[in-house]
């Protein structure tokens, strides 16, 4: 199309700024509008004035002005194509307009180039609009940073590009995070909407990761840089979206390969029709030429060429705004064919961070005191269970006990001494020596009940007291409605593959209404289940098994799938690089939404291609059959049919930008509230801990 190929600039340009604007999409649109105005005035004058009058001559002059405007834009593109040794649609259109003018149909030639230039300008503007997601990400790139100078101990401005790993930076309220980093001091809230699509800011505390380009909307914080600016998650996302927009779907690659041979064939066919109509059928040279030119115009593949890329780019942009990164048109096509889906559990269907939901003291034991003991034992550990226990103690304003001689026993638990008395936290086998014999049966009963529900339990023992800590790994937001919405899209079965124990897997599978689950799997076992699932649902060349995981532990299963998706992995380099698509937010509701968007995109592409092919065949037959039946299809009608079809295809593709947003799962809030309540001797821990 002219909007794509007319970017080359003349070697001599006395007014570079004005020339650059004139050849830009907006300048081309303004030129097309001027040409259209000239043609409209010329048409009105031709209706109201006889031939030979001054106003009729004015009408003809305006048609020539419109033709020259069209030749300026179309001629540049055609000349560039010829210089490159190509014979494409730009050349066809310019040749058709010049020949029409040679036959005296100046208005028709001008109309052709007017509509062609208008379509090209609108196409270029549409493509620009679909790339706004990348532009928005580029605008997020931070331009300033405050870095601590170790020598002077002062905070000095520095460009983000100069930050090195280990540098200490200060991020004030309202500022962008300059680089991927870990919070060292302070707590705040971060707006990640542009990166993840999340509507609410995320709370961040010491030890949490923060990502370049996110906005600090809370308190001042200090952080330690973990990645160079060129290696940040934001920069990787920008690079991946840019690469995705440059990729071609299989259909588009075929069209690209055939576009030049097709253009040559149309030109050769038009010449052949001219000679047959003139020599074999005896038509006048002017009539035969008129038929050949009309055929050349209506058979040109403008709408066909633009059918796929506009839809694909619009879908990539819409997905990016919704927190989904499609890595090219092929990923969209494969996701549209999804028929079965397998999930990892920990870190995918669940948050991957266990939370204490109950502290159950046994007999006369003091739950508050044992919570302090547990927090003291675990306060310096990075184990997920330790993090959960320390968080609960902090939420209950329970200070950790002062523990000496802390020692960790692999696979059993952690122990230490408090005021000379031994304390332990871990399995029953590890702690039972410190538990009164009369409590043993009750503790075993509690552990059996808790583990039977698929929950996690650890025992704390100190000074003839014991308490059982109950933990769960809460499901991700959106998981409650996930299976129902996937089933509505015809995706069945929805399977969970996990290395966790069967009881825990059964609890999660039952709560989410999964079709089936397989537990206690090694990575190679997950691959076997994926292959078996593919054998069950694959027929012929139809393939549609997807795997969603964290992009690291599930790498073999992701590689075995037809479409691999990483979830909640804005900070995971492995996920960004290995998966076909990445869900940048933690909300699983985007999974069925992304499938629906991919299918709408596929439907849009098929509709565009069908319309373009039918329009070309129908108009070509109308030209050829009509001319033999004594009816010459007006050239202006062929022009409008051809270029109007191109405009309709572009408009149909742009509807994807208005695809509805991710629906809210109505049961999310109640579920999160339920799992957030933590009981210590009947007293609830505040929600959100």
| Contact (Cβ atoms closer than 8 angstroms) between residue 400 and residue 684 | no
Backbone φ and ψ for 192, nearest 5 degrees, come out as -110, 20
Structure tokens at 88: 């494409």
Distance of alpha carbon 511 from the chain centroid: 28
User: In 638-654, which positions are buried (b, 16+ CB within 10 angstroms) versus exposed (e)?
Assistant: bbebbbebbbebbebbb
CB 157 within 8 A of CB 144: yes
Kindly compute the dihedral angle of the four CA atoms of residues 74, 80, 81, 82, in this order, to the nearest 10 degrees. Answer: 110
DSSP characters over 531-546: HHHHHHH-BTTB--EE
Q: Which of 90, 344, 473, 562 is catalytic?
A: 344
Which helix (H) or strand (E) segment is 129 a member of? Answer: helix 106-130
Helix (H) / strand (E) containing 468: strand 465-472
**3-state SS, one letter per residue, for 594-627:** HHHHHHHHHHHHHHHHHHHHHHHHHHHHHHHHHH
Lateral strand order in the sheet of 340-344? 324-326, 581-583, 563-567, 545-549, 340-344, 494-497, 516-518
Per the annotation, the verdict on 344 as an active-site residue is: yes
The kind and range of the H/E element at 215 are: strand 215-216
Compute CA distances 325 → 16, 222, 543, 685, whole Å. Answer: 37, 30, 21, 37
Three-state DSSP string of 653-670:
HHHHHHCCCCCCCCCHHH
| Beta-ladder partners of 653 | none
Question: What distance in Å separates the CA atoms of residue 97 and residue 108, rounded to the nearest whole number?
Answer: 8
What are the CA-CA distances from residue 56 to residues 44, 59, 101, 215 (Å)? 10, 5, 17, 63
Q: Rounded to 5 degrees, what angle do the CA atoms 320, 566, 386 make?
A: 120
Strands 188-191 vs 202-204: parallel, antiparallel or unpaired: antiparallel
Backbone angles phi, psi at 121, to 5 degrees: -65, -45
Establish how many alpha carbons lie within 13 A of residue 191's alpha carbon, considering only the half-sphere containing its beta carbon. Answer: 13
Please tell me the distance from the alpha carbon of residue 319 to that of residue 308, in angstroms, as a whole number: 16
- Residues recognised as catalytic: 344
């Amino acid at each position: 199309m002219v909007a794509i190929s007319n970017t080359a600039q003349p070697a001599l340009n006395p007014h570079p700024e004005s020339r650059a604007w004139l050849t830009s999409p907006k300048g081309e649109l303004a030129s097309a509008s001027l040409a259209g105005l000239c043609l409209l005035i010329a048409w009105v004058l031709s209706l109201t004035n006889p031939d030979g009058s001054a106003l009729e001559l004015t009408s003809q002059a305006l048609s020539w002005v419109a033709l020259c405007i069209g030749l300026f834009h179309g001629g540049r593109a055609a000349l560039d194509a010829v210089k490159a040794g190509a014979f494409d649609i730009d050349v066809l259109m310019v040749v058709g307009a010049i020949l029409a003018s040679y036959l005296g149909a100046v208005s028709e030639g001008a109309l052709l180039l007017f509509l062609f230039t208008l379509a090209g300008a609108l196409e270029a503007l549409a493509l620009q609009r679909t790339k706004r997601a990348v532009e928005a990400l580029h605008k997020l790139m931070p331009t300033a940073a405050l870095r601590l100078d170790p020598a002077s101990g002062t905070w000095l401005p520095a460009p983000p590009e100069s930050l090195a790993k280990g540098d200490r930076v200060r991020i004030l309220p309202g500022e962008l995070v300059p680089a991927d980093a870990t919070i060292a001091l302070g707590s705040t809230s971060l707006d990640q909407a542009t990166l993840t699509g999340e509507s609410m800011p995320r709370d961040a505390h010491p030890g949490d990761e923060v990502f370049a380009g996110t906005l600090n909307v809370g308190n001042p914080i200090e952080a330690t840089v973990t990645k160079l600016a060129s290696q940040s998650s934001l920069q990787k996302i920008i690079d991946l979206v840019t690469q995705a927009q440059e990729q071609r779907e299989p259909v588009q690659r075929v069209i690209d390969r055939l576009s030049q041979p097709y253009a040559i064939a149309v030109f050769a066919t038009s010449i052949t029709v001219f000679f047959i109509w003139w020599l074999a059928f005896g038509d006048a040279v002017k009539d035969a030429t008129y038929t050949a030119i009309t055929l050349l115009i209506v058979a040109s593949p403008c709408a066909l060429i633009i059918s796929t890329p506009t839809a694909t780019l619009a879908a990539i942009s819409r997905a990016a705004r919704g927190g989904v990164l499609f890595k090219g048109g092929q990923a969209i096509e494969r996701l549209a064919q999804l028929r079965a889906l397998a999930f990892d559990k920990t870190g995918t269907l669940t948050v991957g961070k266990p939370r204490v939901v109950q502290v159950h003291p046994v007999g006369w034991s003091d739950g508050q005191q044992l919570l302090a003991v547990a927090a003291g034992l675990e306060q310096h550990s990075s184990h997920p269970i330790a993090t959960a226990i320390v968080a609960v103690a902090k939420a209950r304003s329970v200070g950790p006990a002062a523990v000496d001689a802390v020692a960790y026993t692999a696979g059993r638990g952690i122990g230490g001494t408090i005021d000379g008395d031994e304390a332990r936290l871990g399995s029953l086998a590890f702690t039972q020596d410190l538990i009164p014999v009369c409590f043993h049966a009750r503790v075993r009963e509690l552990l059996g009940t808790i583990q039977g529900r698929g929950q996690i339990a650890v025992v704390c023992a100190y000074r003839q007291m014991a308490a059982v800590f109950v933990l769960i790994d809460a499901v991700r937001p959106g998981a409650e409605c996930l299976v129902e919405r996937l089933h509505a899209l015809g995706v069945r079965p929805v399977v969970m593959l996990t290395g966790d124990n069967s009881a825990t897997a059964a609890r999660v599978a039952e709560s989410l209404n999964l079709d089936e689950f397989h537990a206690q799997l090694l990575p190679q076992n997950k691959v076997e289940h994926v292959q078996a699932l593919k054998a069950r649902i694959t027929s012929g060349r139809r393939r549609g098994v997807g795997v969603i995981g964290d992009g690291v532990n599930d790498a073999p299963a992701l590689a075995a799938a037809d479409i691999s998706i990483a979830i909640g992995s804005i900070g995971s380099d492995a996920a960004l690089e290995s998966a076909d698509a990445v869900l940048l937010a933690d909300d699983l509701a985007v999974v069925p939404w992304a499938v629906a968007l991919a299918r709408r995109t596929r439907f849009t592409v098929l509709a565009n291609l069908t319309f373009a092919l039918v329009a070309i065949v129908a108009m070509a037959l109308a030209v050829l059959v009509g001319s033999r039946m004594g009816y010459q299809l007006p050239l202006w009608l062929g022009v409008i049919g051809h270029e109007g079809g191109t405009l309709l295809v572009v408009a149909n593709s742009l509807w994807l930008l208005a695809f509805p947003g991710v629906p809210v799962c109505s049961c999310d809030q109640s579920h999160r509230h339920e799992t957030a309540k933590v009981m210590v001797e009947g007293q609830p821990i505040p929600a959100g801990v």
